Amino acid sequence: MALLIDSLLLRRGERTIIAGLTARAEPGEALLLTGPNGAGKTTLLRAIAGLLQPAAGSICLEPRPAGSQAADDAPRLAELCHLVGHLNAVRPALSVAENASFWAAYLGGPASGVLPALERFRLAELAAIEAAYLSAGQKRRLGLTRLLLAPRPVWLLDEPAVSLDAASRDLLADIANHHLAAGGILVAATHQPLGFAPARELRLGVRPVAADGAEAGP
Partner 1 sequence: MTGFAALLAHDLRLAVREGGALGTALGFYLVVVTMLPLSLGPDLNLLARIASGILWVALLLAALLSLPRVLETDHDDGSLEVIAMAPLPLELAIAAKSLAHWLSTGVPLTLMAPLLGLMLNLELAAYPPLVATMLCGTPAISFIGVIGAALTLRSRRGGLLVALLVLPLYIPTLIFGISAMEAAALGTGGFTASFMILGAISLASLVLAPLATAAAIRLQLS
Q: Using the rule CB under 8 A, is 128 a contact of partner 1?
A: no
Give the separation between CA 120 and CA 156, rounded to whole angstroms: 19
Q: With contacts defined by CB under 8 A, how many residues of the chain interact with partner 1?
A: 29
Angle of CA points 191, 142, 52, to nearest 5°: 55
Positions 178 through 197 that interact with partner 1 (CB under 8 A)? none
Nearest to 57 by CA among 15, 26, 1, 16: 16
Give the separation between CA 104 and CA 111, rounded to whole angstroms: 6
Give the separation between CA 192 and CA 18, rounded to whole angstroms: 22
Please identify, using beta-carbon distances, which residue of 91 and 203 lies nearer to partner 1: 91
Please identify, using beta-carbon distances, which residue of 40 and 143 lies nearer to partner 1: 143
Sequence-separated (6 or more) residues with CB below 8 Å from residue 46: 52, 83, 85
Site string for partner 1, 142-171 (x = CB under 8 A): -x--x-------------------------
Positions 55 through 114 that interact with partner 1 (CB under 8 A)? 75, 78-79, 81, 83, 85-91, 93-94, 98, 102-103, 105-108
Residues that bind partner 1 (CB under 8 A): 46, 49-53, 75, 78-79, 81, 83, 85-91, 93-94, 98, 102-103, 105-108, 143, 146
